[in-house]
Amino acid sequence: MKRLILIWFTLIGVSAFAQKNERPLVQFTGVVLSADSSTVIPYATITNLSAKGQSTLANYKGYFSFVAHERDTLRFTSIGYASTLVVIPSNTKDRSYTLHVKLNGQSINLPVVRIFPWATTDEFRKDFLTLKIADDDLEIARKNLTGKSIASLTRSLPRDSKEIQNAFFQDEHNAIINQHSSLSNPLFNPFAWGALIKEISEGNKSRGVSDN
């Protein structure tokens, strides 16, 4: 009988202690905002660290509303922002608590990643051995100053004002020098005709064409 009475008093004490330490429920409502621009942060994660990590999400407007206990510790997180902790105070009015939670932006510097077009070292070795090295400045200048390159540029590029002026002055100089001279007509020069006939005959022989 004494043992039953002792057990009964023990259960009453434990129940009274549990009721005394049970924290009241609170309707926690608020909006998650950016601390820099006061714009809403959608879909922030809210984790109740005092309730075995229970989590909930704010909506696309940053609004949230759920039931928690007084003195619960809540962690607010979102991608691109530093997490922050909020503790629900005790003795809240009307068992409700409203708060604007502001998160600070966070920049994370990631290490540099270089992507190469070779999947293996063998592919790199093959491409390296067959690599065509580009010409340096000296080689480029040498190619641009060859007789063939200069002749091609002379035919394709127009003359500038300085070249035109020099050609004009040269023609004027020649005209002044030869103004009292009679220039021979090459059509009446027998040597010129002989040279022309010789070139024609040599050209026919090189092509295998006979005189007949």
Domain interval for residue 129:
116-177
CA nearest to 58, candidates 92, 29, 88, 87 = 29
pLDDT on residue 101: 96
Helix (H, G, I), strand (E, B) or coil at 194: helix
What is the Cα–Cα distance from 204 to 166, expressed in whole angstroms? 41
193: confidence class by pLDDT, cuts 50, 70, 90: confident
| Domain annotation covers residue 194 | no
pLDDT on residue 20: 46
Q: What backbone torsions phi and psi does residue 34 show, to the nearest 5 degrees? A: -85, 135
76: confidence class by pLDDT, cuts 50, 70, 90: very high
205: confidence class by pLDDT, cuts 50, 70, 90: low
Number of residues assigned to the chain? 212
- 19 and 64 in a single domain? The answer is yes
19 has pLDDT over 80: no
Helix (H, G, I), strand (E, B) or coil at 29: strand
Average pLDDT over residues 174-187: 75
List Cβ neighbours of 38 (8 Å cut-off, separation of 6 or more).
102
Sheet order of strands, 81-87 included: 54-57, 45-48, 73-78, 81-87
Q: In CATH, what number is assigned to the domain containing residue 39?
A: 2.60.40.10
What does pTM read for this prediction? 0.47
Number of structural domains in the chain: 2
